[in-house]
Structure 1
Amino acid sequence: MRLKIVPDTSIIIDGKLSQLIESGEIKSADIIIPEMVLDELQSQANRGLEIGFNGLDEIKKLRELAKTKDIRVIGTGRRPTPDEIKLAKRGRIDALIRDVAKEEGAILYTEDLVQAETAKADGLEVVYIETKVEEKLSFEKYLTKDTMSLHFKERARPMAKVGSPGNVKLKILREEVCTREELEKMASDIVYAARHMDGQFEISRTGAEVIQLGEYRIAITKPPFSKDYEITIIRPIAKLSLEDYNLSEKLMNRLKEKAEGILISGPPGSGKSTFASSLAEFYLKQGKIVKTLESPRDLQVPPEVTQYAPLNGSMVNSADVLLLVRPDYTIFDEMRKTSDFNVFADMRLSGIGMVGVVHASDPIDAVQRFIGRVELGIIPHVIDTIIFIKFGRVEKVYSLNLKVKVPSGMVEQDLARPVVEIRDFESGKLEYEIYTYGEENVVVPVERERDSGLEKLAKQRILEEIKRFDKNAEVEAITGNKAVVRISNSAIPKLIGKGGKRIESIEKKLGIKIDVRPLVESLGKEIPFEIGESGAYVVFNFSKKYRGKNANIYIDREYLFTATVGKNGQIRLSKDSELGKKLISALAVKRPIRVFA
């Protein structure tokens, strides 16, 4: 009896129909290929998907078998509309295939259990072929216990990265180069296994597929995306607990009690995901509900931790669900897009503890990934701890906080602004500041400030002013908003001016306080004087014999300033000047004032 068979896409893609014919299980039959099957396979192949090419190859093979076997391959039915192809994942194409089987009075052959049960419910005769997956895939023979990744490329020798983070070696697996046919067969086996072993197709685009198959993250690329056919298989080689990282007690306490906006950063392959998995397990043991956002879902976490992928292709949709689930902590792996950073910030500000994983070659690069994507003032509320991983260990930890202050290297008080301080967590040492300068957000290393162009420019401006009074003047140091300048004793009175007004004018012009000191420290002979107040001035009174002489005034042994005794035997100093305020403070606590000439 001649059979009439309508195959669906599942059995065509897996090549089972040709196997049944070759084995003699199907001897005499009309194979009716619905046009919508061919069109769906073409659509998949146009998008560079492996399953599309596998299906087209199977139909070509069936036509070849028809030349030697009692088999006829017949095309029938109408072409699906673009909308029907879009709805293929929701079962629209499967429904059309069932319609063809019903119209032709044919047996439906399928590997899809849902399709089989639906067809039976619809009154169709069905042959369901249960899939059997090879126990071992072809690439697994190359794996050793310390293999981190396998790299197969057309026209190149297969290679493997072996070792551990920080101690990785590239190993040639064989001298014979990979062929296109070999890689196509390997890719076909991987796709087949993924479809029947609960694998996840994380990315399916023209020329590229990323599949999570058990512990393996598999990337398959082909033209036009890559020049040659290539397959990369990555797997985790270590599963660690947080205790294995030998973290300080201070950091462990922070992770337990305070850190709720954690950023794990490091170069590719440094062990970030392993640390994130350890952190997920740590929070689970603390009695917290933990979820993950991943694409691909490759974190090695306990069964109690639910791993979420992008919902309908978007992490924004996944976040909407997570906000309703209300986890205590969410691990966001592989943050790259602006939308990822926005989701992280939104969830953190909603009160969910967040742990983000980002690629960064330097610890500070991690926070720079947020600049421009998240408002500057919000960053410390979103991230409070940065953990930098390198060579599989925690190399650096930063803490972040927000202050309103004058940034380091600036001097005028009216330049105060919100500044994000980034401190070494263990020592508390300020290492970076982030603030708005003009219209730009800048990250300024505090430690290297002394060598900065800003300080050089400040010194140059100060020298331009004081060298008018002494060409040998020097700027000794700039600390915060204060500069120490040294100038010859004879030039000091000219620089300070009557009542300290000239130095006050220069300070206002430059926006920095200036501490004037003698070029060569010399106390000279201590002379008698009387000190008092007259209106807005502190007045020094001297004997007439000191008129026109330079007087060096000290608070105890700390040099204050030098001035020339006037014709009336006085030196007048404004109370509102910096020097005047310092002098009044010294008098208030009865510190000794001394004058030398």
Structure 2
Amino acid sequence: MTESSKDGQKIVPDTSSVIDSIISEGVDRGDFKDARIIVPEAVVAELEAQANRGLEIGFEGLEELQRLQDLANKGKIKISFHGTRPNLDQVKLARGGEIDSLIRETAIELKAKFVTGDRIQSMVARAMGIDVEFVKPEPKELGPLLIEDFFTADTMSVHLKNNVPPMAKKGSIGDVRYVSIRDEPSTYAELKEISRELLDRARSDHNSFFELSFSGASVLQIGNMRIAIANPPFSDDFEITAVRPVASVSLEQYRLSDKLKERICDQRGILIAGPPGAGKSTFAAGVANFLNNMEFVVKTMESPRDLQVPDEITQYAPLDGNLENTADVLLLVRPDYTIYDEVRKTKDFEIFADMRLAGVGMIGVVHSNRAVDAIQRLIGRVELGVIPQVVDTVIFIDKGEVAKVQVLKFTVKVPAGMMEEDLARPVILISDFETEKSEFEIYTYGEQVVVMPLGEEKERKPSWKLAEGEVRAVLEDYSKGPVNVEMVSDSRALVKVREKDMPRIIGKGGSTIDDIEKMLGIHIDVRKSDEKGEKKRQEEKDTSPHRPIIERTDRHVILNVPELAAQDVEIYAGDTFLFSATVGRHGDIKVRNDSTVADSVIEAVEEGEAVTVRSL
């Protein structure tokens, strides 16, 4: 821009040049000496409309007009306003170029130099024969930001609010403290200056950008900091929140098993779950880096884009404000993996499912208090039978550590707690990845979707052992093979026998089993045993009798069998069953001296009968 050519000229700025402070900065450099700045009323109207909607660019433009007035008062320039104010329809059509057209008409009418920072505006003006000067905003030296003064090495986030002392979250992910970092409260003027600096940086730094801009709220990404600026009417007072990652973690630091790493590499549907601040996004970034190093094509879908990933991984924001459009583009890009940061709303789960079913390896970040809660968030949003195809692994993060990994499997079975075979239905089994122990079942019951915790094995009552022995003794008269009896409640027993023995036990039309149930007062569910598995279990089981060391104290008769410590056993005198018990962890079975059981043991010893202990 040649300085002397604009001295004393009539200058018409457009909205972009006012917002970017092109005129005032030019005057400070010595440009526009004695120039007459003619501001179109259309510019004022557009800035006023933006400010009324709570957009910071509107406030910045109005502040620039105030600076120009100050320069005019100092005699450095002359300033005036010209033209007609646009009507409401023209303001609403500003994006379509109505306001820009009114501004250009002012420059044509006054035969003035037209100054703009908008490339498209300059091209249109030049095509119309207007004397136009396209001025790119001067790149500003990017020094430290005011808000950085509130951060220390262990600061995760800074929280500033008008008339409240600045607060910060400090520490590591596993040990976070919310502390005051200054005694004096923040002032409106201080927050306004910090806000203006942040907005300037978001516009001028190519590594920074606006994520969201609404009436009363703006979200910026500046370097590795995510900034949220809120002001009335959206919030009750002016507030600035700045969050930054305190750690960039390699996946090796999580000490994952090779089996889990292989599962992550197998293009699956994975949810990374955990409560807010647990370190989910840090772990997701570590997974992205790991997959990138394994030579997979990795992309991310984020709003805002704040994952700390290498340059090779492209981070995608909502396209035209919609992540569904982003997903359409990604399907054309064909990544091996997509990291979907913050899967929260129904539309997010639908997009995640659509991409997963299209064959893309998907890793989603979800807020939840338990691993199973992340799966429950899919219910009603994704068809139940499709859930294991959409998500087959949940990695739960707590305090920066991998606390639990669950896997999903689809099968058809009788749900836990139900006995009748005709109640079999499709069931989603949720199991612990390392132990392979089933922990939850998901299935439909009527119109309801049930998430049933399987929990620990029910505590077995001592009376159940006696009942099992009685049931076994009766059924052995009808079965030539082994009879396995398990009491599942006070009034119900599960019996497993060989398939060829089942007809004799059940009888014609169920008559035999009905008679047995009436005699015993117990409902009996007869099923076919796994003969191979039963044989293997019997071979592995130590059923040989053990001779205990028997001693009598003032209060107890003690049978000592340390080799059967902590096992359920039966005690016999010769071939006669005496009682059943659980051996203590030191190998002792204690019975009170004044009990009939103690009398039976002592009587057997005195008569020379062998007292033996057999493992169940």
Fold equivalence (TM over 0.5): yes
Q: Is the 8 A contact 2:118 2:134 kept in 1?
A: no
Q: What does 1:334-345 correspond to in 2, within 5 Å? A: 334-345=342-353
Paired with 2:514 and 2:373, the residues of 1 have a C-alpha distance of 47
1:38 aligns with 2:38: no
Paired position in structure 2 for 1:397 = 405
Paired with 1:275 and 1:30, the residues of 2 have a C-alpha distance of 58
Q: Is the 8 A contact 1:36 1:80 kept in 2?
A: no
How much has 1:358 moved relative to structure 2? 0.9
How much has 1:317 moved relative to structure 2? 0.9
Paired with 1:340 and 1:169, the residues of 2 have a C-alpha distance of 32
Q: Aligned match of 1:161 in 163, 166, 169?
A: 169
How much has 1:132 moved relative to structure 2? 1.6
Q: Is the 8 A contact 1:386 1:398 kept in 2?
A: yes
Q: Is the 8 A contact 2:41 2:81 kept in 1?
A: no
Relative to the length of structure 1, the TM-score reads 0.74
What letter matches 2:131 in structure 1?
Answer: L
How much has 1:332 moved relative to structure 2? 0.5
Paired with 2:43 and 2:398, the residues of 1 have a C-alpha distance of 50
Deviations 1:201-238 (A, max 9, x none): 11111211111111111000111111111111111121
Q: Is the 8 A contact 1:410 1:481 kept in 2?
A: no
What letter matches 2:146 in structure 1?
Answer: S
Q: Is the 8 A contact 1:30 1:72 kept in 2?
A: yes
Deviations 1:78-117 (A, max 9, x none): 51664764552x7664455334323322223334455456
Q: Is the 8 A contact 1:266 1:389 kept in 2?
A: yes
Paired with 1:411 and 1:440, the residues of 2 have a C-alpha distance of 19
Paired position in structure 2 for 1:245 = 254
- CA change 1:193–1:370 in 2 (3 A) is same
Q: Aligned match of 2:383 in 361, 370, 375?
A: 375
- CA change 1:166–1:65 in 2 (3 A) is same
What letter matches 1:311 in structure 2?
Answer: L
Paired position in structure 2 for 1:304 = 312
How much has 1:484 moved relative to structure 2? 6.9
Q: Percent identity?
A: 50
Paired position in structure 2 for 1:126 = 133
What letter matches 2:53 in structure 1?
Answer: R
- CA change 1:140–1:119 in 2 (3 A) is farther
What letter matches 1:252 in structure 2?
Answer: K
Q: Is the 8 A contact 1:107 1:127 kept in 2?
A: no
Is the deviation greater in 167-176 or in 336-345?
A: 167-176
Paired position in structure 2 for 1:10 = 16
How much has 1:481 moved relative to structure 2? 12
How much has 1:365 moved relative to structure 2? 1.2
Q: Is the 8 A contact 1:411 1:511 kept in 2?
A: no
Is the deviation greater in 349-358 or in 24-33?
A: 24-33
Q: Aligned match of 1:227 in 233, 236, 246?
A: 236
1:75 aligns with 2:91: no
Q: Is the 8 A contact 1:436 1:442 kept in 2?
A: yes
Paired with 1:288 and 1:174, the residues of 2 have a C-alpha distance of 47
Paired position in structure 2 for 1:288 = 296
Paired with 2:264 and 2:373, the residues of 1 have a C-alpha distance of 22
Paired with 2:134 and 2:382, the residues of 1 have a C-alpha distance of 56
Paired position in structure 1 for 2:471 = none
- CA change 1:335–1:500 in 2 (3 A) is closer
Q: Aligned match of 1:110 in 111, 116, 134?
A: 116
- CA change 1:137–1:511 in 2 (3 A) is farther
1:438 aligns with 2:450: no
How much has 1:29 moved relative to structure 2? 3.7
1:101 aligns with 2:103: no
Q: Is the 8 A contact 2:39 2:79 kept in 1?
A: no
Deviations 1:425-460 (A, max 9, x none): 000011111111222222111106859xxx9xxx9x
Q: What does 1:561-572 correspond to in 2, within 5 Å? A: none
Paired with 1:363 and 1:53, the residues of 2 have a C-alpha distance of 46
- CA change 1:82–1:340 in 2 (3 A) is farther
The count of residues paired between Structure 1 and Structure 2 equals: 484
Paired with 1:505 and 1:46, the residues of 2 have a C-alpha distance of 83
What letter matches 2:312 in structure 1?
Answer: E
Paired position in structure 2 for 1:49 = 55
Paired with 2:320 and 2:216, the residues of 1 have a C-alpha distance of 21
1:406 aligns with 2:419: no
Q: Is the 8 A contact 1:77 1:100 kept in 2?
A: no
- CA change 1:176–1:63 in 2 (3 A) is same
Deviations 1:148-201 (A, max 9, x none): 111111111112222210112233222111111111111111111101112221
Is the deviation greater in 18-27 or in 38-47?
A: 18-27
Q: Aligned match of 2:525 in 504, 513, 529?
A: 513
Gaps of 5+ in 2: 1-6, 465-485, 496-509, 528-574, 578-616
Paired position in structure 2 for 1:208 = 217
Paired position in structure 1 for 2:227 = 218
Q: Is the 8 A contact 1:119 1:126 kept in 2?
A: no
- CA change 1:477–1:31 in 2 (3 A) is farther
Q: Is the 8 A contact 2:341 2:364 kept in 1?
A: yes
Q: Is the 8 A contact 2:275 2:398 kept in 1?
A: yes
Secondary structure (helix, strand or coil) at the match of 2:165 reads: coil
Paired with 2:134 and 2:358, the residues of 1 have a C-alpha distance of 52
How much has 1:146 moved relative to structure 2? 2.0
Q: Aligned match of 1:478 in 471, 479, 488?
A: 488
- CA change 1:384–1:107 in 2 (3 A) is same
Paired with 2:132 and 2:31, the residues of 1 have a C-alpha distance of 17
Deviations 1:378-423 (A, max 9, x none): 1000001101111111111010011111111222222211111110
How much has 1:499 moved relative to structure 2? 3.9
How much has 1:377 moved relative to structure 2? 0.6
- CA change 1:56–1:64 in 2 (3 A) is same
Deviations 1:1-36 (A, max 9, x none): 643222222232244534555676445343322233
How much has 1:54 moved relative to structure 2? 1.7
Secondary structure (helix, strand or coil) at the match of 1:223 reads: coil
Paired with 2:126 and 2:523, the residues of 1 have a C-alpha distance of 87
What letter matches 1:200 in structure 2?
Answer: F
Is the deviation greater in 343-352 or in 91-100?
A: 91-100
- CA change 1:134–1:286 in 2 (3 A) is closer
Secondary structure (helix, strand or coil) at the match of 2:144 reads: coil
CA RMSD of aligned residues (A): 3.4
Relative to the length of structure 2, the TM-score reads 0.71
Q: Is the 8 A contact 1:63 1:73 kept in 2?
A: no
Paired with 2:490 and 2:123, the residues of 1 have a C-alpha distance of 78
Q: Is the 8 A contact 2:517 2:524 kept in 1?
A: no
Paired with 1:483 and 1:39, the residues of 2 have a C-alpha distance of 83
What letter matches 1:62 in structure 2?
Answer: L
Gaps of 5+ in 1: 460-475, 486-496, 516-555, 559-597
Q: Is the 8 A contact 1:481 1:513 kept in 2?
A: no
What letter matches 1:223 in structure 2?
Answer: P
Q: What does 1:173-212 correspond to in 2, within 5 Å? A: 173-198=181-206, 199-212=208-221
Paired with 2:398 and 2:131, the residues of 1 have a C-alpha distance of 60
What letter matches 1:513 in structure 2?
Answer: D
Paired with 1:7 and 1:477, the residues of 2 have a C-alpha distance of 89
What letter matches 1:396 in structure 2?
Answer: K
